[in-house]
Amino acid sequence: MVLFYSLLYEKGGRERNEDSMALHRMETRAGELTMALICDGMGGEDKGELASGYLVECLSVWFYDKLPSVLRNGFRRGRIQRCLQRQLFTVHEELRRFGLENKLRCGTTMTMLLIFNRQYLLFQSGDSMAYSLGRKIRALTPRQGNDRGVDRCIGIGSFKAPHMSGGRVACNEGFLIHSDGFGDRITPKDMLGALGGGRIKERGEADKALRTLAKAGVRRGCRDNMSAIYLGCS
Amino acid sequence: MSIYEAEGAVIGRYRLIKKLGKGGMGAVWLAEHTGLHTRFAMKMAAGDINGLSRSCLRTEAERMKTLNDRRIPYLVDFIEDDECSVLVMEYVEGITLEEYIGKNAPLDEEEALGLMKKLCDIVAFLHNSRPRILYRDIKPSNFMISAGGELRLLDFGTALIQTEGMQGEEICGTRGYAAPEQLKNSGVRADADVYSLAAVYSYMLSAVDPSRPPFHPVRGEELGRMVSRSTKKLIDSCLSPDPDKRPANGIALRGRLEKIRPGREKLLNCMEEHLYQLIMWTQVMAACILLWARHGGHPIPEAEFICYSISLLSLLWGFIREEFFTDPGFVLQRSWNIILSSKEGTGLHF
């Protein structure tokens, strides 16, 4: 069960924050469901915040409108994955058409964490990352960027299904999902030092730790937007 | 007349003091009459004299001129020149209903009902006026709770006089609060305001803001057992996508609200929840004990057996029906609902 959350939403050295993020929770008859989502509006692409904001909006509607009917039959990974892929494909096509009509390149990455009772599912398209923090730090998402840029992106190019992983939530485990700007100059070791080891027990402490990490990133020369969500579980 | 949207600038006989906010049509300023030293609110719209925002402000002034009620701020002046139009009206000091709900929601049903009756009275006044006025953008941020605790309705920019064949008017309203037919522009009637009022009621009781994703108000089934059945039923009928199923206007809704007795129904709900279960299981236990005590392993007389079986089976059927055949709603409560984005508005547009 998710006990508390902490959010970091900094524009860094940029004019505006092109990332968008969402955090939703609902209590259902089958248990408690939480969704944490970060979309990075693809630095360098035009109207990045438009694409990331629109995806966050659509997935928030999806969370409340479509997901409950899927969960009525239990937390089945395959069903959730198919339902999400349909939604992502729709948004991808809408963004692509909007880009073509307005001569823009409208793209965004996405990392979504779904926690249902003691199970979690993670979906990733692009280079935003997710970590599990306990005594050790464990990357839940593979690095997807390559020399030519991000290879999975919603709204640009052909649609590729997001990478999916899942597992069980351990006692006192924490989850951190962040945009690539946050992870640019901050290493997993720094994240473990600030948030790991089971030392974060409440929201205030997590807020402080995230701010400290962001400041460290800026000191080390990060100029990108920095967005992160930390979820503390029981 | 020269317009300077800056503190201290003088427009006509009014000096700008501070910016109160920015709406769809323009900024709203707190201003002071230079001679009387009385404070007023000033709504400004700049641009082309025949542009949308300036013509809307002109219409708003026309509407306010005809409305004479203490719950609606009175029109003081309307100034217009080549550069901008300015509407001067009564300044209402207090907090918006949105701020109040944001701080206190979910409200107790009695309190929410009290507030709803007041909101409904204002809307009923508009619907009752001749010609009938449709407000078309009912949401908590358009209501103000004055320092004396009185509710006031602000911003008549979207208000419309109801006429025959109103289809084709511009789409207005706030996503989540506006009725489905309003967003599709398929003809708006007074029941569209009823839908918006029910969305505000649902927000008060659930703390889920309809203007945030998934952009629809919480329906009766999600409101939990602390809300009376008649309130849930009323909210469901008002939020029906079919306008004919809603109360026809604010006056009809006010009548329906008057019939709700939250305290009494809460007690009945509680009884239904706990007492019913208690009685049912006590009966089952009593029947078993009685059977054992009377016959202690000997065969039970046929008539008695049938009586006991029927009563036990009917109880069991009630339980099975409640548990398996009624759909009480899968989602019980929504919380957090946080979205952070630099994108303005909703949807895919510049």
How far does the CA of residue A96 sit from the closest CA of chain B (Å)? Answer: 11
Tens of pLDDT, residues A169-223: 998 899 999 998 898 889 999 999 999 878 888 999 999 999 999 999 999 988 8
- Across the interface, whether the CB atoms of A49 and B335 are under 8 A apart is answered no
Burial of B139 (0-12, 13-18, 19+ CB in 10 A): buried
- Across the interface, whether the CB atoms of A22 and B333 are under 8 A apart is answered no
The answer to whether B222 and B206 have CB atoms below 8 angstroms apart is: yes
Report the length, in residues, of chain A. 234
Q: Supply the ipTM of this predicted assembly.
A: 0.92
What integer pLDDT is reported at residue B72 of this predicted model?
A: 92
Dist CA B48 CA B58 (whole Å): 13
Q: Which residues of chain A carry a pLDDT beneath 50?
A: none
Chain A residues lying within 8 Å of B208, measured CB to CB:
none
> CB-CB: which of B330, B336, B346 is closest to A68?
B330
Dist CA A228 CA A6 (whole Å): 8
Chain A residues lying within 8 Å of B330, measured CB to CB:
28-30, 68-69, 71-72
Tens of pLDDT, residues B169-215: 566 788 899 999 988 877 788 999 999 999 999 999 988 889 888 88
Instruction: Please determine, looking at this structure, whether the domain spanning B10-90 carries the CATH number 3.30.200.20.
Output: yes
- Across the interface, whether the CB atoms of B331 and A28 are under 8 A apart is answered yes
> CB-CB: which of A49, A64, A71 is closest to B213?
A64
What integer pLDDT is reported at residue B1 of this predicted model?
A: 44
The residue among A35, A36, A34, A90 whose CA lies nearest residue A58 is A90
The answer to whether A227 and A181 have CB atoms below 8 angstroms apart is: yes
B8 in reach of chain A (CB within 8 A): no
**SS3 label, residue B175:** coil
The residues with which B31 forms a beta bridge, in sequence order, are B16, B40
Please tell me which residue in B69, B77, B121, B137 is annotated as part of the active site: B137
Chain B residues lying within 8 Å of A63, measured CB to CB:
213-214
B343 in reach of chain A (CB within 8 A): yes
- Across the interface, whether the CB atoms of A54 and B343 are under 8 A apart is answered yes
Find the closest chain B residue to A38 by CA distance. B340
Q: Is residue A163 within a helix (H) or strand (E), and if so which, with residue range?
A: strand A163-168
Q: Which residues of chain B carry a pLDDT beneath 70?
A: 1-4, 23-24, 163-171, 225, 264-274, 276, 297, 321-329, 350
The correct CATH number of B94-260 out of 3.40.50.2300, 1.20.140.160, 1.10.510.10, 3.40.50.300 is: 1.10.510.10
> CB-CB: which of B337, B340, B350 is closest to A20?
B340
Dist CA B323 CA B160 (whole Å): 48
- Across the interface, whether the CB atoms of B340 and A21 are under 8 A apart is answered yes
Owner of token pair 């004055």: B146
B209, B211, B223, B338, best to mutate vs chain A, most A CBs in 10 Å: B338
B346 in reach of chain A (CB within 8 A): yes
Dist CA A20 CA A55 (whole Å): 9
B186 in reach of chain A (CB within 8 A): no
Chain A residues lying within 8 Å of B343, measured CB to CB:
20, 49-50, 52-54, 57
According to DSSP, the β-strands at B331-341 and A19-28 are antiparallel
Dist CA B135 CA B156 (whole Å): 7
B121 is catalytic: no
Dist CA B220 CA B259 (whole Å): 17
For B133, the token pair is 């006025």
Chain A residues lying within 8 Å of B336, measured CB to CB:
5, 23-25, 34
- Across the interface, whether the CB atoms of A23 and B330 are under 8 A apart is answered no
What domains sit in chain A, N to C, each tagged with a CATH number?
A: 2-233 (3.60.40.10)
CA-CA distances (angstroms) from residue A219 to A193, A212, A213, B239?
A: 17, 11, 10, 53
- Across the interface, whether the CB atoms of A53 and B337 are under 8 A apart is answered no
